Structure formats: structure tokens, C-alpha cells
């Protein structure tokens, strides 16, 4: 495998930290530069174990800053980009859409432009791997799965900003023949996820004895994938994906929110040595998310048949690992929320 200098954006976040660790572990011939602004969701604790690797460098910086990105590409001989940096939480995009527009759209274009200028005389460069979401395809009813041919139909400011960034990436491919690949993945879960997302929120609320807010009737459906399986898919698409193409990535693992919350309640009762049924009493149905997409589910046929990827961690194993990780990493949680979980949760969520 060739030596390469790879820019990974958003590497201090949830998925990015697993991607950085996997690439450092599997590809010692690569120099990895992790560019991250360290917003509330970025945390260098996620990478403590690998921060001294000789072929790793962290740079704090903002992808929306055009001049900074241009300079960064002048200073480093990037051969390839894996772009994960984004504002990622749907509820935050509803209460304040603007950072989603700047980071997810303008930030992506800044990176595309800088890479285009650097790579135009260097045909061996790339890929520019853009990490995106299944939410760009909109919402499913009772039947069907999202394929790579599904029409774009984003409905939240978050998904609309990601859809826009996907269109930009394709525009750079068609207009300038940029060597791009795009992956659109379903809901990830696992260690290092900020406790605003459903699974870590439920685990931490049970631990803190706080209500478990289930939006609407809890009947919305998500397709869950263990984060290390997503990192493995990114590795495969980055190395073997066909330029200009899109790969959907999903867990074949659809759950209604209420069933997932109940499943977590059972696991937590067992782990905490509480009588069965204790945690479920915390479930509380709250006002629905505005424009709440009913169901997401991915058809994995393309990535499995063309690249040979399939999920390797069962939901049972993945949830056990995730719960164990949050129970063992109290300090990580107080670090990311800047203090006591109970009071953080009350101020952030109970007034929804
Ligand atoms: P995250 O919110 O945990 O991490 C995002 C990272 O980006 C953080 O480290 C943050 O500091 C950084 N960042 C944000 N704005 C930045 C800026 N302006 N400049 C530089 N860095 C900035 O997100 P995640 O869940 O790890 O998602 C990573 C990517 O994967 C996103 O593009 C997201 O859309 C996509 N994705 C996420 C999921 C999921 O279930 N979490 C599923 C499919 C796709
Ligand atoms: O599908 C991929 C997407 O999955 C990613 O692109 C996003 O970055 C990621 O945040 C995730 O989006 P969701 O909105 O699906 O994830 P979230 O964990 O916020 O919510 C999952 C489901 O649970 C959703 O139907 C809303 C519901 N929910 C969420 C929270 C936080 C609740 O019922 N209660 C809650 O407190």
C-alpha cells in the first residue's frame, strides 16, 4: 500500500475518533492529520491512547475558515481526505440551523476547493471521501429501504445541509473530475457518542435516575449500526470505492424507538443489579420532534456485493459493549458535559 498523507476532518468526534484509530492501527504507512475545531462534540479524550503515534498529528481549526483551509493545504501534502466534520444533531438543527449551514455546506465547499487546487496537476490523488447520512433520502413509510438510487428528500435543517453537501461533492466530481466517493450511513451507536443522541442519553439518564424522554409515541424506526462497523465500511470505501459513486451503509437492524429504550432498560437493570422493570418506570412520552422522520432503513446490497462489507457486531453485543463503556467512563461523561450529568440534563432537555 502506498504512503499517503490523509486529512481526516472531525476526527475528535464520535465516528471520526474510531476512524482515526482504525487507520493508525491498520496503515502505518499513512500520515494522518486530524483537523477538528473541538466544538461541544469534539473531545481529545477520544484519542488519548493514540495521540503520541509518530504518524499522527492533531490540528485545531475551523473548516468554515476559507483562508485557514487554503493555508493548511499549502502546508501539508494531503493526498486524500476523509471528511467527517459536521454539526450532527437533528434537534440542535431545529433550535439553531445556522451552524449547520456554515459548517456542513460552506465547510465542505472550502475543503473541496482546497483539494481541487492541490490535486489538479496530480492525477494520483484522492479520494475525497465525504461521510454522509441516510437522512438525505427523507422518511420511509411501512415498506421499502433506501438504495443509492432513492431520490433526495431531506426534511430537517440537518439533513438538508448534508444533502446540500452531497450535491456539492458530486458537482466537483462532474465539473472537475475530482476523485470523490460518498457514503450515506444509518444511525451509529457505540463508545464516544455525545450523550444528546438517543442511546447514550437513555443509558446516562437511567444511571442518573432521570426521565427517559421518548418523542411522540416512540413508533419512529431507526436502523442501528455499531460505530466500528461503520469505520470498517469507511476503510473499504476509501480504498476500493469507485470514484464518483455513492455507497449506502446500514445495519439491517431496524428498531422502533420505544422497543430500543425498553431493551436498554432491561440491560441497565441487569448491569446495575436493580429489579427488572425499575428503569422502564422512567420512560416518559414527550412532545414529538418537529418534522420527525418516521423510518430510516438502508439497503446494503451495493456495498456488500461490490466491496464485501457486512456488519460484524450484533445489536446484542454492540449494546452490551456500549452500556459497559458508558458505565466505566464516568469521567468522560462529566468531561464532555462540563460537570454533573443530572443538572446538565435538566437544563438541556426538560424544557423541550
Ligand atoms: P459528532 O458531532 O460526534 O462529531 C463531529 C466532529 O466535527 C466534532 O469533533 C466537532 O468538533 C467537529 N466539527 C464540527 N464543526 C466543525 C468545524 N466547523 N470545523 C472543524 N471541525 C468541526 O458527529 P458524528 O456523529 O461523529 O458524525 C460524523 C459525521 O458522520 C458527520 O458528517 C455526520 O453527518 C455523519 N454521520 C453520522 C451518523 C451518526 O449516526 N452519528 C450517521 C451517518 C452519518
Ligand atoms: O440516520 C443517521 C443519523 O442518525 C445521523 O446522520 C445523525 O447525525 C444522528 O444524530 C442520527 O440522527 P437521529 O435523529 O436519528 O438520532 P437521535 O439519536 O437524535 O434520535 C434517534 C431517534 O430517537 C429519533 O427517532 C428521535 C428519537 N429520540 C431522540 C432523542 C435524543 C427520542 O425519542 N428521544 C430523545 O431524547
Kindly report, residue by residue over 258-275, the tens digit of the pLDDT: 999 999 999 999 999 999
Q: Does residue 291 register a pLDDT over 80?
A: yes
Q: According to the 3-state scheme, what is the secondary structure of 204-270?
A: HHHHHCCCEEEECCCCCEEEEEEHHHHHHHHHHHHHHCCCCCEEEECCCCEEEHHHHHHHHHHHHHH
Domain at 193-222+254-294+313-346, CATH class:
alpha beta
- pLDDT-derived band at 45 (thresholds 50, 70, 90) equals very high
- Are 4-188+225-249 and 193-222+254-294+313-346 the same fold in CATH? no
341 tagged catalytic: no
What is the domain partition of the chain in residue ranges?
Answer: 4-188+225-249, 193-222+254-294+313-346
49 tagged catalytic: no
- What separation in Å is there between the alpha carbon of 70 and the centre of ligand 2? 34
Ligand 1 atom nearest to CA at 42: 9
Q: Does residue 352 register a pLDDT over 80?
A: no
Look up the CATH number of domain 4-188+225-249: 3.40.50.720
> How large is the average pLDDT for residues 189-214?
97
Q: In this predicted structure, what is the pLDDT of residue 350? A: 53
Please indicate whether residue 317 or residue 349 has the higher confidence score (pLDDT).
317
Cβ of 154 below 6 Å from ligand 1: no
- pLDDT-derived band at 344 (thresholds 50, 70, 90) equals confident
Selected catalytic residue, list 36, 62, 113, 134: 134
Q: In this predicted structure, what is the pLDDT of residue 340? A: 86
What residues contact residue 96 under an 8 Å CB cut-off, 6+ apart? Answer: none
Please say whether the beta carbons of 196 and 336 come within 8 A: no
- What separation in Å is there between the alpha carbon of 85 and the centre of ligand 1? 5
148 tagged catalytic: no
Q: Does residue 5 register a pLDDT over 80?
A: yes
pTM above 0.75?
Answer: yes
Buried b (16+ CB within 10 A) or exposed e, 196-213: bbbbbbbbbbbbbebbbb
Q: In this predicted structure, what is the pLDDT of residue 331? A: 95
- Ligand closest to Cα of 14 equals 1
Cβ of 90 below 6 Å from ligand 2: yes
Q: According to the 3-state scheme, what is the secondary structure of the chain?
A: CCCEEEEEECCCCHHHHHHHHHHHHHCCCEEEEEEECCCCCCCHHHHHHHCCCCCEEEEECCCCCHHHHHHHHHHCCCCEEEECCCCCCHHHHHHCCHHHHHHHHHHHHHHHHHHHHHHCCCCCCCCEEEEEEHHHHCCCCCCCCECCCCCCCCCCHHHHHHHHHHHHHHHHHHHHCCCEEEEEECEEECCCCCCCCHHHHHHHHHHHCCCEEEECCCCCEEEEEEHHHHHHHHHHHHHHCCCCCEEEECCCCEEEHHHHHHHHHHHHHHHHCCCCCCHHHHEEEECCCCCCCCECCECCHHHHHHHCCCCCCCHHHHHHHHHHHHHHCHHHHHHHHCCCHHHHHHHHHCCC
What residues contact residue 44 under an 8 Å CB cut-off, 6+ apart? Answer: 12, 38, 51, 58
Cβ of 84 below 6 Å from ligand 1: yes
Q: Does residue 182 register a pLDDT over 70?
A: yes
What mean pLDDT value characterizes the chain? 96
| Span 83-125, pLDDT tens digits | 999 999 999 999 999 999 999 999 999 999 999 999 998 889 9
Ligand 2 atom nearest to CA at 214: 33
Cβ of 296 below 6 Å from ligand 1: no
Amino acid at each position: 500500500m502506498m504512503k499517503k498523507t490523509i486529512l481526516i476532518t472531525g476526527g475528535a468526534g464520535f465516528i471520526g475518533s474510531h476512524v482515526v484509530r482504525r487507520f493508525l492501527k491498520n496503515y502505518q504507512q499513512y500520515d494522518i492529520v486530524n483537523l477538528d475545531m473541538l466544538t461541544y462534540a469534539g473531545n481529545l479524550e477520544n484519542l488519548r491512547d493514540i495521540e503520541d503515534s509518530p504518524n499522527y498529528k492533531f490540528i485545531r481549526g475551523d473548516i468554515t475558515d476559507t483562508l485557514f483551509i487554503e493555508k493548511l493545504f499549502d502546508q501539508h501534502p494531503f493526498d486524500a481526505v476523509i471528511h467527517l466534520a459536521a454539526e450532527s444533531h437533528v434537534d440542535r438543527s431545529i433550535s439553531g440551523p445556522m451552524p449547520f449551514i456554515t459548517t456542513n455546506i460552506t465547510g465542505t465547499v472550502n475543503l473541496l476547493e482546497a483539494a481541487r487546487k492541490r490535486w489538479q496537476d496530480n492525477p494520483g490523488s484522492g479520494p475525497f471521501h465525504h461521510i454522509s447520512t441516510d437522512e438525505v433520502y427523507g422518511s420511509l413509510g411501512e415498506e421499502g429501504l433506501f438504495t443509492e438510487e432513492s431520490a433526495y428528500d431531506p426534511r430537517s435543517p440537518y439533513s438538508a445541509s448534508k444533502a446540500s453537501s452531497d450535491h456539492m461533492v458530486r458537482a466537483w466530481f462532474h465539473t472537475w473530475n475530482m476523485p470523490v466517493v460518498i457514503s450515506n450511513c444509518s444511525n451509529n451507536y457505540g463508545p464516544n457518542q455525545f450523550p444528546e443522541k438517543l442511546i447514550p442519553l437513555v443509558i446516562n439518564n437511567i444511571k442518573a435516575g432521570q426521565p427517559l424522554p421518548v418523542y411522540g409515541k416512540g413508533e419512529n424506526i431507526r436502523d442501528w449500526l455499531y460505530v466500528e462497523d461503520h469505520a470498517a465500511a469507511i476503510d473499504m470505501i476509501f480504498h476500493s470505492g469507485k470514484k464518483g459513486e455513492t455507497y449506502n451503509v446500514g445495519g439491517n437492524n431496524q428498531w422502533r424507538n420505544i422497543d430500543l429504550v425498553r431493551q436498554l432498560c432491561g440491560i441497565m437493570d441487569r448491569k446495575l443489579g436493580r429489579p427488572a422493570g425499575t428503569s422502564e418506570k422512567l420512560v416518559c412520552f414527550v412532545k414529538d420532534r418537529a418534522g420527525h422522520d418516521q423510518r430510516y432503513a438502508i439497503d446494503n446490497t451495493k456495498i456488500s456485493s461490490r466491496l464485501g462489507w457486512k456488519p460484524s457486531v450484533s445489536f446484542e453485543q454492540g449494546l452490551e459493549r456500549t452500556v459497559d463503556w458508558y458505565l466505566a467512563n464516568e469521567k468522560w461523561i462529566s468531561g464532555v458535559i462540563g460537570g454533573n450529568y443530572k443538572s446538565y440534563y435538566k437544563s438541556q432537555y426538560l424544557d423541550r
